[in-house]
Amino acid sequence: MTRFSAFSLFAKALGGHQGWPEQWPDAAPRPAYDAIIVGAGGHGLGAAYYLAKKYGITNVAVIEKGWLGGGNTGRNTTIIRSNYLYDESAHLYDHALKLWDGLSQELNYNTMYSKRGVMMLAHNVHDIQSFKRHIHANRLNGVDNEWLSAEEAKAYCPPLNIAPEARYPVLGAALQRRGGTARHDTVAWGYARAAAALGVDIIQNCAVTGIRRGLDGAVEGVETTRGFIASKRIGVSAAGHSSVIMQMAGLEFPLESYPLQALVSEPVKPVFPCVVMSNTVHAYMSQSDKGELVIGAGTDQYVSYSQRGALHIVEHTLAAICEIFPIFRRMRMLRSWGGIVDVTPDRSPILGKTPVKGLYVNCGWGTGGFKATPGAGDLLAYTMARDEPHPINAPFNLDRFRTGRLIDEAAAAAVAH
């Protein structure tokens, strides 16, 4: 693996950046592996990397239907935060947040993780009460989160309109300073490169068409469009298509898949210093290093795999953005797209073992999986290596829908992630 350094970048710059070698090989499937990960997004590649790096299983394949990082990893709005209400969620997301720190150094690849702060706006009395409850709960769990007055929020994010006569008056905000953004593509590429260097095969354009199970019910491998691949351990990290894959193993899951949209504006000079979310009017926004305003819209109301959403969803979000940030009213939008998010009834992920021996799952991240990328990868790898969940992801088991021990962030964490 090429080791990136200031010197190597400078040396290659002198040559016009010609001659950079391929960062990871495009592998062809071998007949058998010690472990298979289905889905080469950030979560799946992360799991493969940690399996090889921390848990000593290097004979691993990551199988991807399309191209690497082409699903929700490349389609999200890159918001990173951990200010969730319930203890289980706070531990889960903060585990990921701690791994984001130092990830660029660990992978020797710049993930552009920027702790620019995530600010959530309160527009009414209910928001204030709810956010203050979150702040207190977060502090008890060692997660930073603080209350800002409207004036302090304006000082932190100058484009904000805090006029009392505004359509959506800002009464205050909750700020997580450790929150921020990262460059989504580089997270997938960084993990892919580091995993490949440890011996992991990354197999693209290879769709899983079936899961083969033995007489004892345990998994024996996956049928794919490029032939059968044997493995006693299969981890599924397939986001919106998780329930489709699970049905191949005969499992019905508590998941529904919805289109979620995002869009970016034309690139402009730095004008927006942080991430702002408004759950009440359903809008969230940040500015990428390239200069585009990155805007997240809502999900469509119906189940779909079409990877595109309706225009009125985008219009609704943009109307709210224009009210909260009047300076962007004449901004032109450049691109919009959709991804398919798998949503659980309690809006918390399912991460752990399944009733099928040797089959592990990481799904149900709904509209907010990107922030958890390193944590989800690490915990899926741990669960696959030890055949038991880590204490952090143990509460996020599939059985909670039978026992009723839900982790109900559906209302607590509000709509947007």
Contacts with other proteins: how many residues (CB under 8 A)?
23
Q: Which distant-in-sequence residues (6+ apart) come within 8 Å of 40 by Cβ?
A: 62, 63, 64, 68, 69, 188, 192, 202, 204
Selected binder of other proteins within 105, 306, 327, 405 (CB under 8 A)? 306
Under the criterion CB under 8 A, does residue 305 sit at the interface with other proteins? Answer: yes
Instruction: Tell me how far apart the alpha carbons of residues 304 and 273 are, in angstroms, rounded to a whole number.
Output: 35
Strand partners, 211: 222
Bridge partner list, 262: 296, 337
> Which one of residues 70, 254, 273, 291 is an interface residue with other proteins (CB under 8 A)?
254
Judged by CB under 8 A, the stretch of 87-95, 98-106, 132-140, 237-245 that binds other proteins is 237-245
340 backbone φψ class: left, alpha, beta (φ>0; ψ -120 to 50):
beta
Nearest to other proteins of 364, 368 (CB atom): 364
∠ Cα 69 6 292 (to 5°): 45
We find the least distance from the C-beta atom of residue 211 to other proteins, in angstroms, to be 16
**Residue 169 in the binding site for other proteins (CB under 8 A):** no
396 binds other proteins (CB under 8 A): no
> Which of 66, 67, 302, 387 touches other proteins (CB under 8 A)?
302
271: region left, alpha or beta (phi > 0 left; psi from -120 to 50 alpha): alpha
Q: Which residues contact 97 (CB under 8 A, 6 or more apart)?
A: 80, 81, 82, 178, 179, 371, 375
For residue 132, what are its two tokens?
Answer: 């203050």
Nearer to other proteins, 94 or 256 (CB): 256
Q: Give the integer Cα–Cα distance in Å for 317 and 324.
A: 11
Q: Give least dist CB 402 to other proteins, A.
A: 4
Stretch of 131-139, 148-156, 218-226, 309-317 lying at the interface with other proteins (CB under 8 A): 309-317
Interface residue with other proteins among 231, 257, 280, 373 (CB under 8 A) is: 257
List beta partners, residue 258.
Answer: 341
By beta-carbon proximity to other proteins, the closer residue of 303 and 334 is 303
Binding piece for other proteins, criterion CB under 8 A, among 6-14, 132-140, 174-182, 236-244: 236-244
Residues 104, 218 contacting (CB under 8 angstroms): no
Does position 345 bind other proteins by CB under 8 A?
yes
Nearer to other proteins, 219 or 255 (CB): 255
Question: Is 401 a binder of other proteins (CB under 8 A)?
Answer: yes
Decide: is 243 part of the binding site for other proteins (CB under 8 A): yes
Q: Is 348 in the site for other proteins (CB under 8 A)?
A: no
Angle of helix 42-53 versus helix 184-197 axis, rounded to 10: 30
Q: Say whether residue 397 binds other proteins (CB under 8 A).
A: no
Q: Report d(CA 231, CA 229) in Å as an integer.
A: 7
Burial class of residue 364, CB neighbours in 10 A (0-12, 13-18, 19+): buried
**Site for other proteins (CB under 8 A): which residue of 3, 269, 330, 402?**
402
Nearer to other proteins, 189 or 253 (CB): 253
What is the nearest approach in angstroms of other proteins to the Cβ of residue 384?
24
Query: Given the rule CB under 8 A, which of 14-22, 115-123, 199-207, 297-305 is the region that contacts other proteins?
Result: 297-305
Q: Are 119 and 170 in contact (CB under 8 A)?
A: no
Q: At closest approach, how far in Å is the CB of 313 from other proteins? A: 9
The nearer residue to other proteins, 55 or 401, going by C-beta atoms, is: 401
27 vs 406, beta carbon nearer other proteins: 406
| DSSP codes, 32-97 | B-SEEEE--SHHHHHHHHHHHHTS----EEEE-SSSTT-SGGGTS--EE----SSHHHHHHHHHHH
How many residues are present in the chain? 417
Cα–Cα dist 171/176, whole Å: 17
Question: Does 405 participate in binding other proteins (rule CB under 8 A)?
Answer: no
Helix, strand or coil, per DSSP, at residue 234: strand
Sole binder of other proteins in the list 56, 216, 252, 270 (CB under 8 A): 252
415 binds other proteins (CB under 8 A): no
The token duo for 242 is 């998780």
What's the min distance (Å) between Cβ of 328 and other proteins?
Answer: 24
Per CB under 8 A, the segment of 39-47, 166-174, 305-313, 367-375 that binds other proteins is 305-313
Closest CB to other proteins among residues 149, 247: 247
Instruction: Tell me which residues touch other proteins (CB under 8 A).
Output: 241, 243-244, 252-257, 301-306, 310-312, 345, 401-404
